[in-house]
Amino acid sequence: MCIQMMKSLMLMFICVGASCANSNVQKESSWADLARRNMVERQIRARGITDTNVINAMLKVERHTFVPTNVARFAYEDYPLPIGEGQTISQPYIVALMTERLDLKGDERVLEIGTGSGYQAAILSLIAREVYTIEIVPSLAQTAAERLKVSGYTNVFVKCGDGFLGWPDAAPFDAIIITCAPPEVPQPLIDQLAEGGRLIVPIGEDFQMLTLLEKIEGQLQKTEITPVLFVPMKGLIEEK
Ligand code: SAH
């Protein structure tokens, strides 16, 4: 009798414990869902982003899982965050703005230079057919590749290397996004941009201008968008 009672009590204890753990998980995901909706309303739509594909992707990708756990609670705030190795993940609005300006329709192959956390690549992967992304810091490339794989972003290909050279085997690309700042656009990337393709890049050193280049009949058409602040491009570009 006594043993039976103890068994029942233990069972109750386990059930209460389990339901408690469950509600913690639920609490966590609803916190992030709400924060994401607020982010999209206040930072993205309010500043004029209208592309539904971009908005849906920003609502879906769990930005807090792309940043170190000690800053995860700030993941949906209106500023960039550190991601280790002295690098940063861009402010959500800048991610949305750059993505919108690529004008993706769904069938494109996109090249990203500067994988960082993998967040921008995840956003692009929900809008384009394939995303090729290059990161120069090995530990960042490895962490991003693992994170993207675990989260099911199967159309993203991550390579560790110098993005200056692009990804010749996978070229040409319908769109190229550079998320570190070079003083000028590396020629191999211009060569790997398809006819009719769009390339977005923060150009400059102390002062940087977010710039869109469109390849029209082999010529580059340039549009300056807004001043920005990105980490500098490293590697071969520094030897130029
Ligand atoms: N898009 C990223 C943030 C990029 S931060 C994200 O969504 O998190 C800029 C990144 O560019 C850094 O990780 C930096 O290491 C990388 N980088 C700098 N120079 C590079 C180069 N030559 N080739 C590839 N990556 C480079």
**pTM, 2 dp:** 0.90
Cα of 231 vs centre of ligand 1, distance in Å, is: 8
23 is a catalytic site residue: no
Nearest CA to ligand 1 atom 10: 114
| Helices 52-60 + 92-101 axis angle, to 10 | 140
Considering 19, 23, 30, 90, which one is annotated as catalytic? 90
**Tens digit of each residue's pLDDT, the chain (240 residues):** 445 555 554 444 443 333 434 455 556 668 999 999 999 999 999 999 999 999 999 999 999 999 999 999 999 999 999 999 999 999 999 999 999 999 999 999 999 999 999 999 999 999 999 999 999 999 999 999 999 999 999 999 999 999 999 999 999 999 999 999 999 999 999 999 999 999 999 999 999 999 999 999 999 999 999 999 999 999 999 996
Whole-number pLDDT of residue 21: 43
Of 109, 15, 28, residue with least CA distance to 65: 28
CB atoms under 10 Å from CB of 57, counted, come to 20
Pocket of ligand 1 (CB under 6 A): 83, 87-90, 113-114, 116-117, 119-120, 134-137, 140, 162-164, 179-180, 231, 233-235
Of 159, 154, 213, 160, residue with least CA distance to 182: 213
Cα of 133 vs centre of ligand 1, distance in Å, is: 9
The token pair at 55 is: 């908005």
**Measured at the alpha carbon of residue 181, what is the angle toward residues 177 and 182, in degrees to the nearest 5?**
100
Nearest-atom index, ligand 1, CA of 162: 23
CATH number of 42-239: 3.40.50.150
Nearest CA to ligand 1 atom 2: 116
